[in-house]
């Protein structure tokens, strides 16, 4: 199936730990994104990479570090997790051009205890 996939789907961890979330897309897109969906269901952009280059870096604590080893993969590493980091994190991808439709992965629900 052509899609955006994320692992893991669920992540439960304690405050202070370091964790990573992985994303892969096989749609042939060249731009990938990380969004955070809080308890009120707002989706907010965190980062975006285009051809492995960071192009969007919103106001996000520097404990969050994205990495894109190639156009098809985007990872998110979070250091020193805090309670407020609990949310659902979505990866998305799009293709540069006239239409910037973004396709989303299934999400990773992160719970920090």
Q: At which residue do the structure tokens 């990938």 appear?
A: 32
Q: Which is nearer to other proteins, 13 or 104 (CB)?
A: 104
The pair of structure tokens assigned to 87 is 């949310």
- CB 48, CB 33: distance < 8 Å: yes
**CA–CA separation, 48 and 94 (whole Å):** 10
Query: Could you list the residues that contact other proteins (CB under 8 A)?
Result: 4, 31, 33, 40-45, 48, 50, 55-56, 58, 90, 92, 94, 99-107
Residue 16: CB minimum distance to other proteins, A: 28
CB of 48 to other proteins, least distance (A): 6
């Amino acid at each position: 199936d052509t899609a955006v996939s994320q692992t893991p789907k669920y992540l439960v961890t304690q405050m202070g730990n370091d964790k990573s979330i992985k994303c892969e897309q096989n749609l042939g897109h060249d731009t990938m994104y990380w969004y955070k969906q809080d308890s009120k269901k707002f989706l907010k952009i965190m980062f975006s990479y285009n051809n492995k280059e960071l192009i969007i870096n919103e106001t996000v604590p520097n404990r969050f570090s994205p990495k894109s080893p190639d156009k098809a993969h985007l990872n998110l590493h979070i250091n020193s997790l805090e309670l407020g980091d609990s949310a659902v994190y979505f990866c998305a991808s799009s293709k540069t051009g006239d239409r910037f439709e973004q396709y989303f992965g299934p999400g990773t629900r992160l719970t920090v205890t």
